[in-house]
Structure 1
Amino acid sequence: MTSPRAVLGRILTDLGSTLVDLVAGRADPDRPVTGVLIHDPGDESARLPGAVVLGVGVYGAEPVAALIGHARAIGAAALVVRSPVAAEGPVAEAAARHDLPVLGLTPGASWAQVAALLRALLATDEVGTVGRPGEPGGDDPLSGDLFAMANAAAGLVGGPVTVEDRGGRVLAFSSRQEEGDEARIATILDRQVPAEKLRALEQRGDFQNLYRTDGPIYIDGIAGKPRAAIAVRAGGEILGSIWVVVDGPLSEVQDRALRESAKLAALQLLRQRSSADAERRLRADLLATVLEGGAGASRAAARLGLTGEPACVLAVLAVDANPPPGDLAPAVTPDRVAAGDLLAGALALHLSAIHPRAAVAGLGGVIYAVLPTTSEARAQRIAEEFLGRIGTRMPALIGIGRVAERPTDLRRSRADGDRVLRVLARGHSRPRVARLPEVYVASLLEDLSDRIAAEEDVPDVAVVRLRAHDARHQSAFTETLAAWLDSFGDVPAAAAAVHVHPNTFRYRLKRIAEVSGIDLADPDDRFEAMLQLRLGLGDHLS
């Protein structure tokens, strides 16, 4: 399997909510991106086809429009300029003429950040291995260069440093923590600011002050020693904060050092975010390859750690609490996508506690999990436990595929799970979790329904004749036949079900035989009639 290439859509997805947005032109999400070029008006630009050009210091509609033409001439994939951008007029015309998207960089974000982040995204698209939590390349938030940055900041400011997220969770810390106080030591040991300290900071308004202020703030009276803190920002987004134990208010040198440290921390946190996103994309690509089968399945399974033992596929579908019948492929909405992401994350967490090599990814609106196991029954119990734990907060249906001895057989296991999901979503089976043997006949009927739906003309079979008669004469012969078959030929029970007298019901049965040609005494005719009713033949005539 080849490494995924960097494309413009991936950059817009990863950075769009924080640093850049499309202001002019059309962004082809599949356009390849090969590198980053910083435009220097005093020097000849290098030619790097597929590069993202950074228009540092270029402002105004005419200069931006001229730079669009220049960028396209050197083969650029996109141009980034500082927002706000006059998107109408010359800029829009130039972007359309040269087919070059123009991205606006959020005010307050640094060019150094966006250049480094773009290069980091290009590098993460060349990831060749899949890490696990706590391993190099994994998604452990306590890995990376944040610790080095914290140590550097501690040396410059002169006190022990922690880098924290917005919830007070410690992401990294420097050495020399013994120079702090008891509150700082407790924070490091728990990797979390104590709850009482967070409440005190909130009540005093220190957090509001921190997030409103661009530079460091000085805080005293919360712990044994004073603190200096600064928010870590990327554009208008607050990513976290840096806290330093100090002896008193910061000097000008310390203030400047902490501001620079915050910029570096923002860069590292955004890199970690993009790396985690790349990791998830890579795992999804690998899992898709495994489930598709073919020559690359074994290699992809090996990179996911899914070789050496049997496994089965769990196909999971997020549904509404009260879904309409047949809503197997509901409309894609932001809320539904968010619900699917939450469900996938919860399933991954649940399965990781059961087997460390379980893999989960969303593909085509369905969440698939490969669970190493030798028993479909065990997989079903695990799925039922999962649904029991999430309750009604995230309604879902789960189809269990057969156990596959080899990775190349997981494609059949996925097909089983998809068939089960289809039956469950149609509402023909009450359980929320099932294996194919439990719904096999219902799945065959769904296959027959597909064949019938694909045919242009339905043959003039018995039930079709009955429905046509009902439509012409406002009779209820189809309903009467269904009630009789459902009651195993018990006329009084069937008559009560449709609210008519038994003698009237017997007369209807005689007329049904005359109109449809069904021999109600023949078991084969009865079976065919039941099947035709179940498949909905002639429904369009009702």
Structure 2
Amino acid sequence: MQRPRASLGRVIDDLGATLLDLAHGDPDRAGDIGGVVIHDPLDHPVLPPHALVLGIGVDAPDEVAALLRTLGRQRAVALVLRAPVPLTDEVRAAADKAGVAVLGLSRGAPWSHLSEMLRSLLAVGDVRVDQAESLGGLPSGDLFAVANAIASLLDAPITIEDRNSRILAFSGRQDEADAQRVETILGRQVPERLSRVLHDRGVFRELLRSDRPVFTGPIPDGSGSQTLPRVAVAVRAGDEVLGSIWAAVPGRLSAEREDALCESAKLVALHLLRVRAGADVQRRVRADLVSSALEGGAGAAEALERLGLANRTLLVLGVALDERRDELDSATVVQDRQRLADAFAMHVSAIHPRSAAAAIGAVTYGLLPGSGDKAESRAVRTLQDFLDRVGDRLPAIAAVGPVAVDLSDVAHSRSCVDRVLRVLREGSAHRRIGRLDELQGEALILELRDLAAARGDEPAGALARLIDYDRRHHGNLVETLRAWLDAFGDVVAAAESVFVHQNTFRYRLRRVAEVGECDLSDPDQRFAVMLQLRVLRI
């Protein structure tokens, strides 16, 4: 079965921050994109269903409106125009009637960048998650291959850096440079003293302002010698600077090599965008597959097949941040969740190469092959080892579901994991790992609380009378009853827990029976009031 290639919403999610803006329309209304077509005003090709059309050179409002009407008849998904998009009333009306979304390509962003990125993104859904692609004849996202290719063009060692001067990739022949370059490679970061000199010389400022290479002369390294000169060029996608390319050179580049460096920057931009989008797409595809498998619906069998877990006995594991830490802000929580998910995925893949893990909401679930009487115990040890490894850096809780033999068992096991994680997060159990067979009672109490809250239940009967008495007389009969029930009727232990004499406690207990009009020797009445105390959170 052929998988959907990509939806318009996904394309906007992946490229929207850099290349594309949704100018008008609903990206979720359209189906999967069937292909990318360049509009040619001198030709009228038959478009594939749900085509994404690149309207190169179309900018007049009447031309845009006419093209939208044509695309609507051919069931196109969207039209991409160069920003700013001429959104007149006529254009909006034509887009709404045609059911075609209108996107704007950022100023300065080449149409070739967009075409290449769309080709890469649309190929993701048709291939396995790990299948490699090619951009400019080089493996997609392989920045080290790109760096080596540029080094061959310039005959100089190359580094590719992000906007914060962190090394993303580097070429060979770095030993031909200088000690500062070697230190940069080893530390994966431009040294602060070198960065400060470049800043003082205005190199970074010039990089941000110019699309041509920037040359800077030798820099003293503090040991009596100097670095080689550097030439750098910014890597751009539209108006956004993604990073830069740096070459250690003996002198200024020739005009031909400067042009080659500028062209190389365009290729690096494609690869950087692909790395950014590809990581998100890969993560999202795997999360979709894991989610489908855990839901146990019509797509569960196919999802497990694509994950390589079909016809296997599975264990469902779950980890989540212990978010009782009130000092965390939302941004930190999101970042920590992703770090936890990545660490857990690496951990379970080391345990079993056919395992799968993905973050779904606040929980990262793992599907781990396993069978036998000791399977759950082994899974608990796996989780304990993981929690020990992350330690206090990412305080987390974890749960193991029962062994899943078939598809329906997988969904049930996921439900058990969710219930256990909630007990660990909200309940009184002071532990970090659990299974439902150990914590079912606590899980039922939490679910009864949900039911009582949804119904708006309030204390009634004996408990309501005791609460009313305590409120009017500043008494402590509810506290006395709770302590006695928690101590299983042991007056000595109960009195110690509320710091009163045993005789005082016995007197209060008699008042509980009198005021509450209840018989504490009746097990049904005891259970009823105990359940109210637990569920209604008095």
SS at match of 2:261: helix
Query: How do residues 33-432 of structure 1 correspond to structure 2 at under 5 angstroms?
Result: 33-44=33-44, 46-59=46-59, 61-87=61-87, 89-127=89-127, 129-131=128-130, 136=132, 149-150=146-147, 153-154=150-151, 156-159=153-156, 161-166=158-163, 167-171=165-169, 173=171, 177=173, 180-181=176-177, 199-205=193-199, 206-221=203-218, 225-293=228-296, 297=300, 300-306=303-309, 311-322=314-325, 336-372=333-369, 375-404=375-404, 409-432=409-432
How far apart in 1 are the matches of 2:364 and 2:508? 49
Query: 8 Å contact 1:290–1:408 — kept in the other structure?
Result: no
| Cα deviation, residue 522, structure 1 | 4.0
Range with bigger deviation, 233-242 or 412-421:
233-242
| Cα deviation, residue 9, structure 1 | 0.9
TM-superposition CA deviations, 1:220-245 (whole Å, max 9, x none): 42576544322222123333333345
Query: 8 Å contact 1:125–1:278 — kept in the other structure?
Result: no
Who is 2:479 aligned against? 479
How far apart in 2 are the matches of 1:312 and 1:137? 33
| Cα deviation, residue 488, structure 1 | 4.0
How far apart in 2 are the matches of 1:402 and 1:377? 10
Range with bigger deviation, 218-227 or 498-507:
498-507
Who is 2:7 aligned against? 7
| Cα deviation, residue 7, structure 1 | 0.8
Who is 1:17 aligned against? 17
C-alpha change, 1:247 and 1:30, in structure 2 (3 Å) is same
**Equivalent pairs, count:** 522
C-alpha change, 1:219 and 1:85, in structure 2 (3 Å) is same
How far apart in 2 are the matches of 1:88 and 1:394? 51
C-alpha change, 1:24 and 1:430, in structure 2 (3 Å) is same
SS at match of 2:430: coil
| Cα deviation, residue 418, structure 1 | 1.2
Query: 8 Å contact 1:301–1:407 — kept in the other structure?
Result: no
| Cα deviation, residue 11, structure 1 | 0.7
Range with bigger deviation, 501-510 or 81-90:
501-510
How far apart in 1 are the matches of 2:363 and 2:397? 10
How far apart in 2 are the matches of 1:363 and 1:453? 26
How far apart in 2 are the matches of 1:535 and 1:13? 43
How far apart in 1 are the matches of 2:499 and 2:396? 38
| Cα deviation, residue 15, structure 1 | 0.5
How far apart in 2 are the matches of 1:70 and 1:337? 44
TM-superposition CA deviations, 1:300-346 (whole Å, max 9, x none): 4454344797653222233534369xxxxx9x966654443232123
C-alpha change, 1:393 and 1:99, in structure 2 (3 Å) is farther
Q: Which amino acid aligns with 1:239?
A: L
| Cα deviation, residue 100, structure 1 | 3.2
TM-superposition CA deviations, 1:7-31 (whole Å, max 9, x none): 1110111001111112233332653
TM-score w.r.t. length of structure 2: 0.80
Q: Which amino acid aligns with 1:258?
A: L
Gaps of 5+ in 1: 325-329
| Cα deviation, residue 482, structure 1 | 1.4
Q: Which amino acid aligns with 1:366?
A: V
C-alpha change, 1:522 and 1:150, in structure 2 (3 Å) is closer
How far apart in 1 are the matches of 2:529 and 2:175? 85
| Cα deviation, residue 280, structure 1 | 1.7
| Cα deviation, residue 73, structure 1 | 3.7
| Cα deviation, residue 259, structure 1 | 1.2
How far apart in 2 are the matches of 1:348 and 1:438? 26
How far apart in 1 are the matches of 2:495 and 2:187? 71
Q: Which amino acid aligns with 1:169?
A: I
| Cα deviation, residue 479, structure 1 | 3.3
C-alpha change, 1:137 and 1:280, in structure 2 (3 Å) is farther
How far apart in 2 are the matches of 1:282 and 1:73? 32
Gaps of 5+ in 2: 220-225
Who is 1:327 aligned against? none
Range with bigger deviation, 26-35 or 421-430:
26-35
| Cα deviation, residue 442, structure 1 | 1.1
How far apart in 2 are the matches of 1:144 and 1:507? 77
How far apart in 1 are the matches of 2:411 and 2:380? 19
Query: 8 Å contact 1:229–1:244 — kept in the other structure?
Result: yes
| Cα deviation, residue 441, structure 1 | 1.9
| Cα deviation, residue 260, structure 1 | 1.3
How far apart in 1 are the matches of 2:312 and 2:75? 49
SS at match of 2:244: strand
TM-superposition CA deviations, 1:433-475 (whole Å, max 9, x none): 2222332221233344455556687896644565577678886
SS at match of 2:319: strand
Amino-acid identity (%): 45
Range with bigger deviation, 300-309 or 284-293:
300-309
Query: 8 Å contact 2:141–2:274 — kept in the other structure?
Result: no
| Cα deviation, residue 375, structure 1 | 4.2
Q: Which amino acid aligns with 1:204?
A: L
SS at match of 2:263: helix
Who is 2:445 aligned against? 445
SS at match of 1:439: helix
TM-score w.r.t. length of structure 1: 0.80
Query: 8 Å contact 2:133–2:139 — kept in the other structure?
Result: no
TM-superposition CA deviations, 1:461-505 (whole Å, max 9, x none): 644565577678886543332133234445576567668887675
How far apart in 2 are the matches of 1:185 and 1:137? 31
How far apart in 2 are the matches of 1:94 and 1:294? 39
TM-superposition CA deviations, 1:116-160 (whole Å, max 9, x none): 211221111212x243xxx8579xx98656566556545544545
Range with bigger deviation, 232-241 or 348-357:
348-357
| Cα deviation, residue 421, structure 1 | 1.0
| Cα deviation, residue 192, structure 1 | 5.4
TM-superposition CA deviations, 1:189-225 (whole Å, max 9, x none): x965765767424432244543443111224425765
